[in-house]
Structure 1
């Protein structure tokens, strides 16, 4: 495993550290971040369940896939892996934090991220290697790069640590009482404005929704979230790289609802 801070490169590229005034001088702990790939086990369908485990210095956080205002979304490059046809992430439920007045979404002290690998040939070994860009955060937020690799064991038994992370995923929307999810879109100057109307019981006292698309190149604004009785409405602007209106695939819309009570509900796709 190789872990390398890229703070200087982040400044050179215009990626500001999120801090206010004197907080920039915060010292970096020696144990800021450690990473490993837990090898997991081969499942009955032939896929390999493994996990990325990140251990951070006490009090430090890393980001969820949609990190919130000003956060650094993690990115993964699996070039160099062998016998891998597909990669799926099973994100555990994140927490919501206030960092210098900015809302960020992520994990404190540790993240165990289950990752499911689909082999090209299930009868052959799977070797994975990843270059990962991510951010870690305390009083300041630091962009970092790490590399991890492992030969995955097809004969191992299920890993309790990975199983616990799978159990900790957000609630499925249908199980949380969702009865309808309708999405509409209207063109704006540089993209689309999407409004989702969801009929679902209240998730918590301070609900807000995060809207994502399968196409991560599309910038999405923080959603304006409002509740009226049994209906929750989330409106967000979507701007693609060419800054033009585009055809919206409603099945690719992912909406995560956060409640102030700590509940998190996941919804995939909506109707017109």
Structure 2
């Protein structure tokens, strides 16, 4: 049985959380720091949130698995902020005690690309982040930070490495011909992706995401059928709502040996 505790960590730009001895209190299980980053040639700001975890602890990817705690981000209160794009590095798949979760151990550097409403003007970033950190117990942690982002900044090797660790696109992987069949179920739909597997070797785990945070997605079941890899997941809307599914926003991520592959959109056969 998992034990859930509450945590509140207050962070400030260029003032990382005080390093302390790892222990059982939430503030010692995870340490957090904002990396201010730099202004990109297209005028966005590439910053990052770095989480350092106690030995044996992990935190979760954007699609954490059925028993994981999905991270959520609230940017309300920020100034001169038009858009925020999170660039998730390729995660790891954990199979522990018959339970599969997806995330990161030891450290997560999550690049945060900020598009200002007024290009060239400073950005005041205000964020509240809810996420889970787990070992034998799970700790829901609430991170709050503000960041005054001004000037050109400077390149950061940690952010650059995290960007390079992102999943590659289907085109970069030389993967084409991916299709999806959508079948109705009692409370939503079941999506089955057929993926040509010539370029996919070894054990592969697939994750199907609906592209709508209000739609629940089951754990994706993956199996091989002849020359193809089949991945199936049930997608269920909130109770009482009609299931609206856009094939353009469907997202299939393949994780196995080496780098992950990110497949955006899934047309019909």
Give TM class, smaller chain. 0.7 to 0.9
Shift of 1:197: 1.4
Correspondent of 1:153 among 146, 150, 155: 150
For normalisation by structure 2, the TM-score amounts to: 0.87
For normalisation by structure 1, the TM-score amounts to: 0.86
Distance 1:38 1:9 in 2: 25
Contact 2:6 2:141 (C-alpha < 8 Å) held by counterparts: no
Correspondent of 1:60 among 46, 57, 69: 57
Aligned to 1:185: 182
Q: CA RMSD in A?
A: 2.1
Shift of 1:192: 0.9
Inter-CA distance 30–135: structure 2 relative to 1 (3 Å threshold) = closer
Distance 2:165 2:178 in 1: 24
Correspondent of 2:264 among 251, 256, 268: 268
Q: What SS does the corresponding residue of 1:66 show, helix, strand or coil?
A: coil
Aligned 1:1-272 pairs, distance under 5 A = 7-8=4-5, 27-28=24-25, 31-242=28-239, 245-259=242-256, 261-272=257-268
Inter-CA distance 193–132: structure 2 relative to 1 (3 Å threshold) = same
Contact 2:80 2:123 (C-alpha < 8 Å) held by counterparts: yes
Residues matched between the structures, number: 251
Q: Which runs of 5+ in 2 are unaligned?
A: 8-22
Runs of 4+ in structure 1 deviating by more than 6 angstroms, as ranges, are none
Inter-CA distance 106–8: structure 2 relative to 1 (3 Å threshold) = closer
Aligned to 1:16: none
Question: Alpha-carbon deviations, 1:65-87, whole Å to 9, x = none?
Answer: 11113000100111111100111
Distance 1:205 1:172 in 2: 19
Return 144-153 or 69-78, whichever deviates more.
Answer: 144-153
Shift of 1:254: 0.7
Question: Alpha-carbon deviations, 1:99-120, whole Å to 9, x = none?
Answer: 3431111111110000111110
Q: What SS does the corresponding residue of 2:171 show, helix, strand or coil?
A: coil
Distance 1:170 1:264 in 2: 5
Shift of 1:187: 1.7
Shift of 1:177: 2.4
